[in-house]
Amino acid sequence: MTGKYWIYLTDKEVFDSQTCARQLDQLGATVDAHAATRRAKSMPDRIVDFHDLPVASSYVEQLHQLGLDVVHESRWLNAVSVRATRAQLAAVAVLPFVSEIAPVLGTRRHGEPDGIIERFSPDAGRRDSEPAAPGDPFDYGPSRAQLEQINVIAAHQAGLSGAGVIVGVFDTGFEHDHPAFSQIVSEGRLLAQYDFVNDDPETQNESGDDSSQHAHGTFTWSALGGFAEGELVGPAYGASFLLAKTEDITSETPVEEDNWVAAAEWADQLGVDVISTSLSYIDWYTYEDMDGDTAPITIAADIAASRGIVVCVSAGNQGGTAWYYIGAPADADSIIAVGAVDADNILAEFSSHGPTYDGRTKPEVLALGVHTHCAIPVELGADYADVSGTSLSCPLVGGVAALVVEAHPNWPPMLVRQQLLDTADNAATPDNDRGWGLVDTYGAITAVSGTPGDPLPAAPLLVAYPNPSRHGVWLEGRLATAQGPVSVEIFDPAGRLVRRLDGAESRQSIFWDGRSDVGRAVAPGIYYARWQSGEWQASTKLILQGS
């Protein structure tokens, strides 16, 4: 019997630092320009690292020679997913370059609130159109309430639309011909698409697909970036898009996580700035696995964030079930897990809860996930309807993230995340039901810089993120004009110098790894950072938590 497995490899056939450096230099020169700019926000010293080197081709060839069907190669995980028999796996297990063999896990699509796919009915509820308010840039129709709830309209009034930002939507498939996407398609803002289920470049329904295969993706893409004046406007209606079909809705077929990993690496190479993914893997996992370091899809999501990508993930719809908690990849520590509320800002009963197994607060933020207005494929009986689930709250926040990236193109993803958390309505008392709360789009955009798009103020400003932190903290001194070389000093509460970091240029980030000048990990607790550049200096408090 054939199954699907991860084959993890010991190395990439790079055995000395000089060879590694040379290959990284060569690889860095080939990175897409948009991707290079994005990566530099999180990787200022070198825009590629060992994770980006390709899987060793000679190892892959040996797997082929053993008769294995290689499905995906993952640079980030240094692994390949294969279809193989147990006899073939026995032969693979003794190869010297194989470190581990594990099943490719997945999840069966669980029925979402209101049965949004197979049991969908347009009579289940449809939001009434709301009259345009003074200052509205256009008629939002029934989608106005879901945007007003998270303060998107103020960002639109300030001229933000997601323009110039590349958003990747990973889902079941998409109805490109829907009127909600006509502007995206006609303006050439659908940059690329790929079907990772069937290994072809088409994400619309194809021969053999379930008739509803493209439904869920149509819901999510439209909620994020659709535009049909008087009916539906997504937060990032002016963004550009990459579409990845990573899920098969057929009930017998598990949605396999290697498709998602492959899609993330593909989108990274094409310059994606924001990923929005409305899925939650729980089958074949245990709650103990929700620790941020176990599920391959979780590891890949964190690696994506380390490459400058803002990753938004549905928290899941298991809040009313025995599972209760978030699933993978929402357990990742560098992503934004999104729960759901209703129109009155009351937590949806289905919205999955935290904490992660290792004790981190989840979800991060909330948006409307009860009767969210979106586009639906015509075979479901209408063009637009209201749909429920964290699958719909997630793309709203994905669109918000695109607006923040547009307003602050130099912000790395962890700062985008931190600003969304710090300005949400539960930021003072985050918990494992609401997280940091309902997002405030315009508040996140203006909390640092005043007006979207304006230069940063000349007043001193030092930002630390994440804060509190378990594994080190980024410090960013933001100046309107360069002041010269930077030095950062870390002090303990008694005023003793713990660490000195030098060399960053003004308006760049510098990372403190939680260690002293002699390389020892410091104790958890409160510390103070002082940033100095020329005549300018600023300080901030840091909180290091135990790992």
Instruction: Cite the active site residues.
Output: 171, 216, 391
Token pair belonging to 335 = 């992503």
The dihedral region occupied by 266, where left means phi > 0, alpha psi between -120 and 50, and beta the remainder, is alpha
**Cis bond upstream, residue 468 (ω within 30):** yes
Contact in structure between 435 and 386 (CB atoms under 8 Å): no
Count CB neighbours of 454 within 10 A.
Answer: 11
Distance CA 167, CA 274 (A): 5
Q: What is the CA radius of gyration of the chain?
A: 23
Contacts of 233 (CB under 8 A, 6+ apart): 138, 140, 141, 143, 144, 147, 156, 226, 227
Helices (H), 228-344: 257-269, 296-306
The sign of the CA dihedral 39, 42, 45, 50 is negative
Distance CA 407, CA 452 (A): 5
Helices 257-269 and 296-306 pack at an angle, to 10 degrees, of 10
For residue 415, the Cα-to-chain-centroid distance in whole angstroms is 13
